Amino acid sequence: MLSYRQYAHGDLTVLSVSGNLDSLTAPEIRPEIEKIVASGARKVALEMSGLDVIDSSGIGVIVALFKRVRSQNGDVKIVAVRGQPREILRLLGLERAFDIVATLDEAAARF
């Protein structure tokens, strides 16, 4: 099961995800990403503290979000990733590609 919500934190657009982001749930979140991109958001934080499991489909969703936001001269920060999702990012070498921070305030300061 996946749950997500979008909200503002100062001038950040936050997409908070929890549960499992996998091949079964990834299609659910794609329309939310499209809404974020369509809104013109340039400072996006992907808050992952509640994310328990991620697979290659979930990684694909994250990469798509990054590519779409960056194509609009924006950026995405990953916030509060832990456990299995953090390990997957590390194993794939994505910790070097993505800016990973502990808090939303730290993400805001990095823009």
Query: What integer pLDDT is reported at residue 41 of this predicted model?
Result: 95
Task: Compute the radius of gyration of the chain from its Cα atoms.
Answer: 13
Residue 56 lies in domain = 2-106
CB 8 within 8 A of CB 45: no
Q: Is residue 18 part of a domain?
A: yes
- 111 is a domain residue: no
CATH number for the domain that contains residue 43:
3.30.750.24
Give phi and psi for 98, each to the nearest 5: -105, 145
Please give the pLDDT value at position 3: 96
The pLDDT of residue 86 is 97
User: Please, which pLDDT band fits residue 91 given cuts at 50, 70 and 90?
Assistant: very high
Q: Is 92 within the bounds of a domain?
A: yes
Count structural domains, the chain.
Answer: 1
Asked if 40 contacts 49 with a C-beta cutoff of 8 angstroms, the reply is no
31-89 tens-digit pLDDT = 999 999 999 999 999 999 999 999 999 999 999 999 999 999 999 999 999 999 999 99
